[in-house]
Structure 1
Amino acid sequence: MNRLHLILAAAVLCPSVGCEWMKQNGIGKPDNFPGKYGRDRELPPVAPEKLVAYLNDRAAGLQSITHAEVRVLATDRSTLMPTPPVSLTGELFAAQPRNFELDTRSGGLVNVKMFMGSNDQEFWVFARVHTGDPMYMYASHADFEAGRAKLPGGVPFEPEWVMQALGMATFSPNNRYEVKPDPKVGTYTLSWPATTPNGMLVVKEVVFNADPADGKKSQVKRHAVRDAKGGKELCYAEIKEARTERGADGRVLQYPTLMVLRWEEPQKFELKLEITNAPQINQPLTAEEAKRHFRRRAIAGVTPIDLAHARFDLPAK
């Protein structure tokens, strides 16, 4: 079985996206902070609930991103998949709380079709590489969260991670949060212990810019998952660029336009995702549009595999 099947699972730039909120809540570098960050500089302490409140306030203002044209570069950095990387183009639709669709295909000589999605009940991934047999997998959120549905190869992926990377996830106030400032690079790292659906103990992190974000800079720099035992990074989503605009209600919104999602263990796989247009923000879809984009589709001649009743084994290295 082809490894790729198993793994493919000009806005108004407002510099105050995080500026006023961060300043009002005592987060980040003070106005009289002298010079650059470094060993001789300190960042003021920040209570975890302040950063959680920022994430939830941002999510409350970003209910949907639709009609986003995307460019995706899929790269396997292990020794098991042939190079070069696969380049795909397509569309992205996302709406809170769990509605998501990424539908892409390649052009030219490389024939790859990939789409993934989610709704309130389930999530799914489809991939077809060249003329080989397609892979179509799905699972209910209930089975996945209970550990009954296993992702192939032990990939530490959670469907909510997509919404989190887009800035559309709400964070529970009940997690055991900690905050670590790093004056050398000017960041705050919010972290908390968690358990993946497969029972693995991990530490989740969100890294913030201490400076107010402006232009294409994102206030949230990174999301990461680490092994709770050794601290090794298992996967991350790094926000390279963002777009900032003001919503119809006057709220300042920010969402990523260029991000890299990378899995380090057990595979070394990377997705670089770029939004290449100005998508629609907080524009409600019709019932027909929601049905078309957020429902697992039927593919002629292909039987979807329920991950709660399947087992996948990657070939040995």
Structure 2
Amino acid sequence: MPSASPSDTPEQRFASPGRLRASRMWRHGWLLGVSLAWVLASGASCPHIVQQYTQPIPRALPPAASLTQIVDVVNDNSARVQSLSATRATITTPGFPSLNANIAIQRPRSLRIMGDKFGPQLDVGSNDEMLWLWLAQSQPPALFYCRHDQYETSAARQIMPVEPQWIVEAFGLVTFDGTTQIEGPTPVGGGRVELRTRSGQPGQETSRVTVVDASTGLVLEQHVYDARGTRLASATLSKHALDPASGAKLPRHIDIQWPPAAMEFAIEMADVQVNQLPGDPQQLFTKPVYPGYSEIDLAQPGLQLTPAPSGQYQAAPETRY
């Protein structure tokens, strides 16, 4: 198990003149998770494992559907899901061994993703107060965290250029706010239409593009652009499955890209349970404690992140899911 010198403070161990050195695997883990915090809506309470994605998804929209009709179908699908979990998921990134993963999400922004490879490797989570990341390979050993209300001005933005809530939307759980102006629907070919929204202050606006199947109303793609039109993040959703108990249609496969960080990864979920979580939500979405790992606040003034090469996987302390 990694250990830290007792004479060094966390700030000294991470500030090598004012810059945080972390392993490439630490950066990889952060992007997998905190590049993954949260949106779902109320709905059916009956738990059910989503059926195989090969089952056809029925038409939900008329030909040439209006903006209101499309938004209603997308919002209704998300509103059927109070929580989502997968205990047989896989996370893959080019150049790295795949991780076995457990995934849990609960409205409004609680999330837990735990990755395993020859022992625990990754723990990413969020609750109403904060988000956190733990990676077995981080050097010096640490659990990183950041309060949601400090995210915008924190070092977390150096490696995650969009707000944490985006990752939950990447699971297909999109809700369009009735007070937000929506552009579209714009046909983009292949039986798909595009909806575009904008947010943020003038000069710092971000644009969100959501691509929807014009027949089923399924969310197929999501993209985020900055004020200059630079793409910050993308998610492509596929292998959708119908949950007959709730009526929700959810993806089994998600490809995520973060162009500014030159990162991409895929999440494959062999099982998806709707409105059922594996254990006590209070414990599940509480920031864990890993013996031998310091806690580092990513909102520390002046904290910057510099990735460094990493070694091989190694076993780490067990933490209950």
Moved more, 204-213 or 185-194: 204-213
Indicate conservation of the 8 Å contact 2:192/2:212, yes or no.
yes
Among residues 198, 202, 211, which one is paired with 2:206 in the alignment? Answer: 202
Indicate conservation of the 8 Å contact 1:178/1:192, yes or no.
yes
Asked whether 1:5 is paired with 2:26, we answer yes
Asked whether 1:228 is paired with 2:218, we answer no
Indicate conservation of the 8 Å contact 1:179/1:189, yes or no.
yes
Q: Secondary structure at the match of 1:157?
A: coil
Q: Deviation above 6 Å: which 4+ runs of structure 1?
A: none
Distance in 2, Cα, partners of 1:15 & 1:150: 44
Q: Secondary structure at the match of 1:252?
A: coil
Q: Secondary structure at the match of 2:193?
A: strand
Identity of aligned residues (%): 22
Q: Report Cα offsets for 1:192-216 as digits up to 9, x if no partner.
A: 11239xx842211110112337xxx
- Alpha-carbon offset, residue 283 of structure 1: 2.5
Q: Structure 1, unaligned stretches of length 5 or more? A: 24-29, 31-43, 76-83, 214-218
Among residues 176, 183, 194, which one is paired with 1:178 in the alignment? Answer: 183
The corresponding residue for 2:242 is 244
- Alpha-carbon offset, residue 132 of structure 1: 4.4
Asked whether 1:134 is paired with 2:141, we answer yes
The corresponding residue for 1:40 is none
Distance in 2, Cα, partners of 1:113 & 1:125: 11
Indicate conservation of the 8 Å contact 1:152/1:314, yes or no.
no
Indicate conservation of the 8 Å contact 1:12/1:246, yes or no.
no
Distance in 2, Cα, partners of 1:116 & 1:315: 18
Distance in 2, Cα, partners of 1:152 & 1:228: 16
* TM-score using structure 1 length: 0.75
The corresponding residue for 2:4 is none
Distance in 2, Cα, partners of 1:174 & 1:167: 21
Q: Report Cα offsets for 1:190-248 as digits up to 9, x if no partner.
A: 1111239xx842211110112337xxxxx11111101232x23221111022221211x
Among residues 245, 249, 256, which one is paired with 2:251 in the alignment? Answer: 256
Indicate conservation of the 8 Å contact 2:84/2:104, yes or no.
yes
Asked whether 1:211 is paired with 2:215, we answer yes
Q: Structure 2, unaligned stretches of length 5 or more? A: 1-21, 31-49, 309-321
The corresponding residue for 1:281 is 274
Distance in 2, Cα, partners of 1:127 & 1:12: 32
Between 1 and 2, higher relative CO (CA 8 Å, sep ≥ 6) is seen in 2
The corresponding residue for 1:61 is 80
Q: Secondary structure at the match of 1:179?
A: strand
Asked whether 1:124 is paired with 2:122, we answer no
Indicate conservation of the 8 Å contact 2:224/2:231, yes or no.
yes
Asked whether 1:95 is paired with 2:86, we answer no
Letter in 1 for 2:117: S
How many pairs were matched up? 265
* TM-score using structure 2 length: 0.74
Question: What is the correspondence of 1:140-179 to structure 2 with a 5 Å cutoff?
Answer: 140-144=147-151, 147-151=152-156, 153-179=158-184
Indicate conservation of the 8 Å contact 1:51/1:190, yes or no.
no
Change (3 A) 1:157 1:128: farther
Q: Report Cα offsets for 1:245-290 as digits up to 9, x if no partner.
A: 211xxx421111110111001x11112100022x32112666xx21
Asked whether 1:304 is paired with 2:295, we answer yes
Q: Considering only aligned residues, what root-mean-square deviation do their CA atoms show, in Å? A: 2.6
The corresponding residue for 2:96 is 85
Q: Secondary structure at the match of 2:306?
A: coil
